[in-house]
Amino acid sequence: MRALGACQEDVSDAALTPACQASRSSLVAAAEQVFTQDGFHDAKVVDIARLGGVTYSSFYRHFGSKEEIFLEVTRLAAGRLWEPVDVDANDFVSSAAVESGVRRHLLRYLDAYDRYAAILSLIGEIALFDARVNAVMLAAQRQNRERCVWLIKMAQDRGLADPRLNPDVAYLALDGTLHELAGGWLGRRTMSFELEVFVQEMTTFVVRSLGLRNLHA
């Protein structure tokens, strides 16, 4: 196991040495696995440290507690789930270009949801009574909402989407539908879809809901 002599929990990731950054990343990955297997309340720091390849005492040079590393796991999962898709002016030259962007967003979101489904389920449970975990999720959701609302407005400004739509309401309706379907399919496993069929149907649902014009003109 590695001892992390120079690593300190009160410095930013950017200020850490490569070795310390690697150890911190290993701990976060280990924590996700332990939390997923054992749940939050039964998870033990000693198990996280062992799986992460560091000594028990070295764990505390990176994280002050089990709760603190769970917050980092939450930040990572939320960041991956709502990681923005690169967008530029070319994505608004036509309705077909917007449709292609919607498809890219769906594929990235579903890939992340599938990867983090188990820990996201646990995070959802803990967020109900842990204000800090809830705040992390709400902040990530808010950033995603602001980006998506801006994209809807851009499509409206370019004359591609229905200008009568309220962008905030449209986003909430579409995001709620996607989140519920992804949760049932990839999280709770109460639904079953073929990926390509799901993406195509959801893309069609989104573009029709936004009133995109002349898709294949």
73-209 has the same fold as 13-64: no
Domain boundaries, the chain: 13-64, 73-209
Q: What's the mean pLDDT in 73-97?
A: 93
Burial (CB < 10 A; 0-12, 13-18, 19+), residue 90, is exposed
pLDDT digits (tens, 9 = 90+) for 142-197: 999 999 999 999 999 999 999 999 999 999 999 999 999 999 999 999 999 999 99
The amino acid at 43? A
The helix/strand/coil state of 217 is coil
Confidence of residue 58 (pLDDT cuts 50, 70, 90): very high
Q: Does residue 217 surpass a pLDDT of 80?
A: no
The tokens for 144 are: 């995603």
The helix/strand/coil state of 214 is coil
d(CA 24, CA 10) in angstroms, rounded, equals 13
Q: What is the pLDDT of residue 11?
A: 47
Angle between helices 167-182 and 95-127 (to 10 degrees): 60
Q: What's the mean pLDDT in 12-35?
A: 85
How wide is the angle at C-alpha 41 spanned by C-alphas 59 and 33, nearest 5°?
55
Q: What is the pLDDT of residue 3?
A: 44
How wide is the angle at C-alpha 213 spanned by C-alphas 207 and 216, nearest 5°?
85
The tokens for 124 are: 């959802």
The helix/strand/coil state of 2 is strand
CA dihedral (197, 200, 206, 209) in degrees, to 10, reads -90
Q: Does residue 119 surpass a pLDDT of 80?
A: yes
- Residue 158 near residue 92, CB atoms below 8 Å: yes
Maximum pairwise Cα distance, the chain: 64
Confidence of residue 8 (pLDDT cuts 50, 70, 90): low
Q: What is the pLDDT of residue 75?
A: 98
Q: What is the pLDDT of residue 31?
A: 99
Cα first-last separation, the chain: 61
Q: 73-209 in CATH: which number?
A: 1.10.357
d(CA 7, CA 44) in angstroms, rounded, equals 21
Domain spanning 13-64: CATH 1.10.600.10: no
Phi-psi region of 161 (alpha: psi -120 to 50; beta: other; left: phi over 0): beta
pLDDT mean across residues, the chain: 92
